[in-house]
Amino acid sequence: DIQLTQSPSFLSASVGDRVTITCRASQGISSYLAWYQQKPGKAPKLLIYSASTLQSGVPSRFSGSGSGTEFTLTITNLQPEDFATYYCQQLNIYPPAFGQGTRLEIK
């Protein structure tokens, strides 16, 4: 099975900052990667798919890039509502798998 490793696991930042989260796959997955945001007590929300395509309704301050084994999620101009946990997920090779998550907290 494919393993996804996110870094960092924990990130502290301020409103207005730019942050980047990395997701590394144990083998190549082309661009079959999605990013989700989850707030405490809530269901995850799809942000980005196909590594860089923004899901409808997601603010443009979120962006994704990468292919193969290394991917990034970037959030520019952090807003208070962006403080949450973020997960990457690969959907190229069965079974689908998630990264362990990156918790983004307010500094």
- Closest among 4, 1, 3, 2 to 86, alpha carbons compared: 4
Closest contact distance (angstroms) between CB of 99 and other proteins is 7
> Pairing between strand 85-90 and 97-98?
antiparallel
Residues engaged in binding other proteins (CB under 8 A): 34, 36, 38, 42-46, 49, 55, 87, 89, 91, 94-101
Closer residue to other proteins in complex, CB, 44/68: 44
Closest contact distance (angstroms) between CB of 53 and other proteins is 11
Under 8 Å between Cβ of 9 and 86: no
